[in-house]
Amino acid sequence: MANKRDLKKYIRNTCGALAGEILLARAAFPAIERKTVHDIINEIAILQGRTLSKVSVAYDNKSCRKLDAASYNNERRKYFAKAYDSLLEEFDASVLEVVKKMNAALPADVREAIKEAAAE
């Protein structure tokens, strides 16, 4: 991500799209249990809140006090890039878990119909 603002937008947009998809699936396929949809939406909301709270990380500049400005900026940039990459990896893994739960919420006959339509 280019900056913290873009990272937050990505997280919000992804979680919003997931919630929208499960609500759309519930409207299209009434066989999906309402409680399951509610649980998945709660999990998405918790994922979004937990991930957004981890976006603001502080840089410990005590170890870099003796560096010149260019080296300090380079070290700081590397630190934030590594922190955001690990945050995105964790977020993407959690999103995959939510998607698996969303797919499991679909009835078997609906999943088969979707597979057949995708194969054509």
43-62: pLDDT as tens digits: 999 999 999 999 887 777 66
What pLDDT shows up at residue 65? 67
Q: Does residue 64 surpass a pLDDT of 70?
A: no
User: Cβ of 18: how many Cβ atoms within 10 Å?
Assistant: 20
Q: Could you tell me which of 75, 51, 45 has the C-alpha nearest to residue 62? A: 75
The rounded distance, in Å, linking the Cα atoms of 13 and 34 is: 23
How many residues are present in the chain?
A: 120
